[in-house]
Amino acid sequence: DQGYNFIQQGDADQAIAVGNKLLEMRHARGFEIIALAFEQQGRSEEAIKVLRDGVSKVPQAWPLWELLGNLHSDQDD
C-alpha cells in the first residue's frame, strides 16, 4: 500500500524505492509499482521494460499484463 500511496502523492522516487524492496522480497507487485512510478515520470519505455521483465518472471501476475497492455496502447503499439 505504501508504494501506491507514494504514487498517488506524486513521489515516484519513493515509490521506486518501495518497489525495489518488494522485488528483493520476491513480491510481484514491485514490478507494478516501479512501472507506475516510471510512467508517472514520463519514462514509459523504462516502465515497459520493467513490466516485460515482470511478466517473464511471474507470468501468472495478470495486473502486470494489464498494465503492459495499457502502456503499449498508450503508445499506439
User: Which tens digit of pLDDT belongs to each residue from 35-59?
Assistant: 999 999 999 999 999 999 999 999 9
Q: How many residues does the chain have?
A: 77
Q: What is the pTM of this model?
A: 0.92
Q: Is the pLDDT of residue 15 over 80?
A: yes
State the residue for C-alpha cell 497492455: 69
Q: Please report how the helices 44-57 and 29-40 are oriented relative to each other, as an axis angle in degrees rounded to 10.
A: 170
Give the pLDDT mean for 8-37. Answer: 97
Q: Give pLDDT, residue 77.
A: 61
